[in-house]
Amino acid sequence: MSDKQYAQTGRFMFIIAWLIFFVLLFAFFRYYNQGEKGSYQVEHGTVTITPDAQGHYRIDGYINESPVKFIVDTGASLVAIPQNIAMELNLRGRYQINLQTAGGEVTGSLTRLQQLSFAGFTLNNVKAVIVPSGGDLVLLGMNVLSQFNLSQQDKRLVIKK
C-alpha cells in the first residue's frame, strides 16, 4: 500500500469514528430525555407510574375539566396548586393558611375543586391549597392519595382504587 492509500484509509476511518460518536451521542441524549419525563400506564383501574430522572412520579390529569400535570407527593397533606395555574383555572382562595414546605413556611389560600381527575379516577369537591410559588406542576397530596391503595414495585408506583 502506498502512502497515499494509507492517508485515504486513515481519513475514511477518522470520518467513520466521528459518525459513530455522533450517533451514540444522539442515542444517549434521546434515551436520557425519555427517562427525564417518566411515564405511566392505565389498565383495569390500576395506574402504574415510572419515575422521571429525578425519581418523581408525574401524571397528567384534570382540574375542573382543564388539563394539568400532577406530581405525586406523599409528603403533601393537600393538593397544592401554584398561583399561576390557579389563575389560569380561575380558582380563588377563600381562607389564608400557613404551610410548612420543604422550602420553609409560606402562606397559601384554601379552595375547593369541583372535580379532580387522573388516570380514569375522578373525585369531586376536593380540598386544595393555592401556593404562591410558580411552576407548572400541581402536587397531588395525601387528601387525594389516601383514597387509593399505593404500592411500589420495581421502582414504579402502583395506584389502585
At residue 18, φ and ψ (nearest 5 deg) are -65, -40
Rounded CA-CA distance 135/145 in Å is: 21
Over the stretch 139-161, which tens digit does the pLDDT of each residue have? 999 999 999 999 999 999 999 98
* Confidence label for 101 from pLDDT (cuts 50, 70 and 90): confident
Single-letter residue type at 5: Q
3-state secondary structure of 94: coil
Q: Given a cut of 70, is residue 78 above it in pLDDT?
A: yes
